[in-house]
Amino acid sequence: MSKYDSSAIRQLGAFKKMKSRINWTPYILIAPAILLITGFLFYPVANVFYYSLQKFNPAKAYENGYIGFENFKTIFTNDDLFLTSLMVTFKWVTSEVVLQLIFGLGIALMLNQAFRFRGVFRAAAIIPWAISGVVTSTVWGLLFNEQMGIINDLLMKVGMIDRKIAWLAELNTVFPSIVTAELWRGIPFFTIAILAALQTIPNDLYESAVVDGAGRWKSFVHITLPFLKNTIVFTTLLRAVWEFNNVDLIFVMTNGTGGPVDMTTTLPMYIVKQAIYAQDFGYGSALTVVGFFILLLFAVLYLKLSRFGKEL
């Protein structure tokens, strides 16, 4: 027997000995969590991909069956509302993320300063984030109500408008109205995340900048922003995904129509119309798959172009 054969035998014996000493207790303990994740996450996702290749309408069971990529072919070649919903979604996500970031950053910078009752104001800034989307939608729907809404009442008293406006029914006002409602709910997310990141910036850097003659703006650009870069990238990515999938606020404030004239019909709202209202679960699943790949592509490109995890 050569020395190579004896070495291989020793390594095999060591491997078997190590294998016999494996502690299976941790794997047994996490097994229920893995099963739950598989059952409540991976299985539904796989089901969506499966039904995207089917024609599935409970009201027309005689037509159900495998149709391959026909749903996707229809989406990209014969569905004008799909392109419209994508444009509305892009406008919705862009306006929400940009405005929430700007206001959230401004409020976080203010709350990071030392002043009296700072803790109270910090707690108050979080309140909108703790309120559910349905409650937020209902409250803002009442505020924008044409007949009894307080917004019309206040604007008429200060002379900004001379008639009551149906904010959620007119073409020129419905989109800005739901953007305002979601903006109020979304700002605290950025405020909390950015405020936490601001706490990690050493004060020595700002003191050195003052000694070197740097003003507030230069300190913000050359110290604050570089430290906040990864936080901003990560939070904007998360918020973009959440706003892309936002349904509850738009659904409640437009009475489930995404109107008027599809002015607020985002891709998720269009999926709701197809899968829930029209009962075309196959086509709704195909739209969901398209949305999944759009988000996946966006996330990969955004993280790549923003150089997440790398210094400016």
- What is the mean pLDDT, run by run of 10 residues, along the chain of 312 residues? 53 56 81 86 89 88 87 93 94 96 94 88 88 89 90 91 89 93 94 92 86 85 89 94 92 88 92 90 94 94 83 59
CB half-sphere exposure, 284, CA atoms < 13 A: 17
Are residues 25 and 74 located together in one domain of the fold?
no
Beta strand 54-55 with 65-66: parallel, antiparallel or unpaired? antiparallel
User: Residue 155 is part of which domain span?
Assistant: 66-305
Write the DSSP symbol of residue 256. Answer: T
- pLDDT value, residue 129: 87
Are 145 and 283 members of one domain? Answer: yes
Q: Find out whether 223 and 201 touch, Cβ atoms under 8 Å.
A: yes
Query: Do 31 and 95 share a structural domain?
Result: no
List the structure tokens of 167.
Answer: 């904010």
With respect to residue 50, please indicate whether it lies within any of the assigned structural domains. no
Q: How far is CA 78 from the centre of its chain?
A: 28
Domain assignment present for residue 111? The answer is yes
**Same domain? 155 vs 200:** yes
* Domain at 254, CATH number: 1.10.3720.10
Distance CA 288, CA 185 (A): 25
Identify whether residues 105 and 236 lie together within a single domain. Answer: yes
C-alpha neighbours within 13 Å on the C-beta side of residue 208? 7
What are the angstrom distances between the C-alpha of 199 and each of 36, 47, 109, 192, 312?
37, 44, 10, 11, 20
Domain presence at residue 51: no
Domain membership of residue 311 (yes or no) is: no
Q: Are residues 120 and 158 in the same domain?
A: yes
Same domain? For 120 and 261 the reply is yes
Residue 53 domain flag: no
Does residue 57 lie in a domain region? no
* Residue type present at position 188: P
11 and 129 share a domain?
Answer: no
The reply to whether 312 falls in a domain is no
Domains in the chain, number: 2
- Predicted TM-score (pTM) of the model is 0.85
Residues 25 and 94 in one domain: no
Are 26 and 149 contained in the same domain? no
Contact yes or no for 228/190 (Cβ under 8 A):
no
Q: Tell me: do 157 and 265 sit in the same domain.
A: yes
Residue 4's pLDDT is 46
Residue 52 lies in a domain: no
Give the tokens for residue 305.
Answer: 């172009």
- Indicate whether 260 and 178 sit together in one domain: yes
Ordered alpha helix ranges (H), 144-274: 150-157, 174-198, 203-211, 216-219, 225-244, 248-253, 267-272
